[in-house]
Each structure stands twice: as structure tokens, then as C-alpha cells.
Amino acid sequence: LASHGLHVTVVEKNPNPGGRCDWIEREGHHFDTGPTLLVMPRVYEAEFAALGTPMSNLLNLQQVDPTYRLVFDDGSQLALTSDMQSMRDQLESIEAGAYQGFMRYHEEGERHYRVGMEKLVNRDFRRFSEFFSLGNIPLLFQLKPLVKHYANMAAYFKNPRLKAAFTFQDVYMGLSPFEGPATFSLMQYTELAHGVWYPKGGMYSIVDALMALAREAGVEFAFDTTAEGINVNSSRVKDVTLEHNLKMGADVFLANADLPYVYQSLLPMDGLAEKLSRKHYSCSVISFFWGVDKPYETLGPHTLFLADDYRANFDSIIRDLDLPANPSLYVHAPTRLDPSMTPPGEDTLIAIVPVGHLSENGEQDWDNLTDQARAHVFRRLRTLGITDLESHIKFETSFTPLSWRKRYNLVNGSTHGLSHNLTQLGYFRPSNRHPRLRNLYFVGAST
């Protein structure tokens, strides 16, 4: 907007930009508190190109391969990699014929990515007729939106661990593969075809790059400034009330907060806000950020511990809003990719444990659940021979769903906003323009 001659002011409640793509620095340890890897690089490349600067000019990216190391309950492992010979050897050792199943699944993922990006992801559906048209009928067969992702895996693998290995990425959308559409095989495709990447300096370097471009274009920023209300007049937003009862007017308003928060906490209450309270929300996570006084070289950059009771995991998280009895979890060691993230001779570790979002009755004991989640991480790491981590942690910072709600105004502490199930995709997802207030647009989560 600024590059097209508009005067743009960004108001941000936190002391720095980035939203959930945030960071923590302590005693020389650097932590990304949100995303820890860059996927779908072509989307980023297109956005930077639209801003007039090649992404490679601002970000120093390195490809991560293997992308993940998967560790199962019995300690057996599977490294997801673009090395097809390695994939063949690993998959065939688990299930005869699995490599051919994988290649067929990869072909389906390519179709879902190509068609899905063109027909769904890169389009807005503001009218019923745009989504439900004769031209879109083939998408029901091309993208399999009516088929559950995990159920679809039966066409490619028999082994439940392999089914889990190629559906766990659904949690990127805060979604269970037992509920999400098979369309999301596009995520597995793009990771292996286009790569998983890591920018030097961590994911927050993307925020720094965008900030540099924004300031160069003349964008003004007001940090540590809370928007407390949106004031409307007939069919338009008149101004925004900031803290200390200050008012800020504009011709056009872009709300970058989680859409349900804007409707429920900033706009005058109406039926739309009430309707959003009945929507399905994504899961949340408990995250641990540990500064460690010794390196653990056996940990790769991305290690995912997948529980054999895969369905019970997601039922506990999505249906019961709880911490599973034996949770799947993820450990990130950024120092393997960028030594500057850690003081010499030490380590920086991030552990992420998916959990249910905040319940309406508020009965979840997050102190107790955090203690349980931490113990599960230590237990899982012992399968890799890491038995002494707890005694080498210098400090810990942790985030729970309460943290996500407080710091980032995420309704229910849902880290991915509204769920991406079939009834909340495309036209069914809230529009990125307010239906009545013609100068209010939504550019954050849940739209």
C-alpha cells in the first residue's frame, strides 16, 4: 500500500512486529517462538517479488534435508528426505511396496498443490456463486475435499506409522488428519518437492526483512500501542480507539489481529460475533524454550516423536481439549542450522507439544498440564539416549494457550485461529472484507 503512494500507519500492541512469528533472546540464546521452518517457498518468493525485491537479496536461506527425523514409540526412525534412494530403502524396510505407494501419493500431492493453489488458495470467494459454480465441480474429484486425509492414506500404505508419517503436517493448520480433507496432501508434496528451508538468524529474520522494506516505503509504526475499539458510523469505520482514549482515523482500516478477536473484542457486538463463537477452532500448543549449558549433537534440527496411538492423540486434543496420555511432540535444535543462535559449547532447544485450546469453562489446570508436557518431552528424548537434559537446562520460558491468548489476542488460545476443516474453507471461511463496513478488511488469521 505504501509503495503505491498511500500513507500507512501500523499500530501494534507488542513492543515488536511479527505477531506469532516472534522471538526471544536470553543469555545469548535465540528462540523463534512461532514457526521454526519455512515451507512453500514459492509463496514467499512471490510476495517479495511483489514488493520489488528478490527474496534472496534479503534472506540467507539454507535447505534442510532430511526435512525431519521421525521417531516412533519403539525408537525406530524414519528420515523424510528428497533423496529418493534413501526414501526407497527406508520405506521398503517398513512395508513391502511402500515406495510405490509413496510415489503415487506424491503425484496426488503435486496435483493437489497445483490445482489447490490456483483454484482455492490464491483466490477470494466473496459470493456463493464464485465457490459453487459449474466450473468448480471438477475440484470435488481433483482435490478430494470430501475424503478425510487419514482415510485416504489407505490407498497408499497399510502400515499405520507410514500413514502418520505423511499426515502429521496437518497440525500446521491446527487440524486433525482424521477430520481434515485429503486436499492437504499438498503440504507433504511441497516439503519434498520445493524443500524445507531455514533463514540464517532464524525465522524472525523474515520479519526484519519485511520491516526494512516497509520503512523504506515510508510505513510508520506505533509499537506498544493497544487498539481498544473500532468505532463505526453506518456502513463505515469512523476511527479506532487506542489506549488512553486516543482516536486514530483513516480512509481504510486493515485488521491484522485474529478475525474472531476483532469481531468479539473490538467491533460493536452483533450477530456475526456470536456466530463466530460457535465455530470450530484449531488446537493449541505448549512450547518450551530452553537455554542449555551443553550441546546435544544427536538431535537434528527437526525431530518429531510420533505416538503409535495416533488417533487417540488427536481425539484427546481436538475433542477433549486435553493433553494426550502419550503425546506426539516436536523438538527443534536451531543451532544445527545456525551456530549463531547459541553461545559456544551450549545449545538452544525448543519443544512443542500440541494440546487442546482453552475450554469455555476454564477448568484446565495449565500449570499441571505444562509439568506433564515437560515430563513427556524428557521421556521421549530418552529414547535417543538423552538422559540428562533436565539437569543441564540453564533457564526455561514456556508458552501455554493462556500465553497465546494474552500476547497475540488469539481467541481460545488457538494457535492457528479458526480450524481449516471442510465447513470452514473457501467461501465458508469469514470474508477478508467486512460484509457491512466497506472500509474494513481482515488480513490476519481466520480469514
Q: SS3 sequence, the chain?
A: CHHHCCCCEEECCCCCCCCCCCEEEECCEEEECCCCCECCHHHHHHHHHHCCCCHHHHCCEEEECCCEEEECCCCCEEEECCCHHHHHHHHHHHCCCHHHHHHHHHHHHHHHHHHHHHHHHCCCCCCHHHHCCHHHCCHHHHCCCCCEHHHHHHHCCCCHHHHHHCCHHHHHHCCCCCCCEHHHHHHHHHHHHCCEEEECCCCHHHHHHHHHHHHHCCCEEECCCCEEEEEEECCEEEEEEEHHHCEEECCCEEECCCHHHHHHHHCCCCHHHHHHHCCCECCEEEEEEEEECCCCCCCCCEEEECCCCHHHHHHHHHHCCCCCCCCCEEEECHHHCCHHHCCCCCEEEEEEEEECCCCCCCCCCHHHHHHHHHHHHHHHHHCCCCCCHHHHEEEEEEECHHHHHHHHCCHHHCCCCECCCHHHCHHHCCCCECCCCCCEEECCCCC
SS3 2: helix
What pLDDT, on the 0 to 100 scale, is given for residue 257?
Answer: 96
What pLDDT, on the 0 to 100 scale, is given for residue 121?
Answer: 74
What pLDDT, on the 0 to 100 scale, is given for residue 196?
Answer: 96
SS3 436: coil
Residue with the three cell numbers 508436557:
373
CA distance 182 to 172: 14
What pLDDT, on the 0 to 100 scale, is given for residue 421?
Answer: 83
- Residues lower than pLDDT 50 in the chain: none
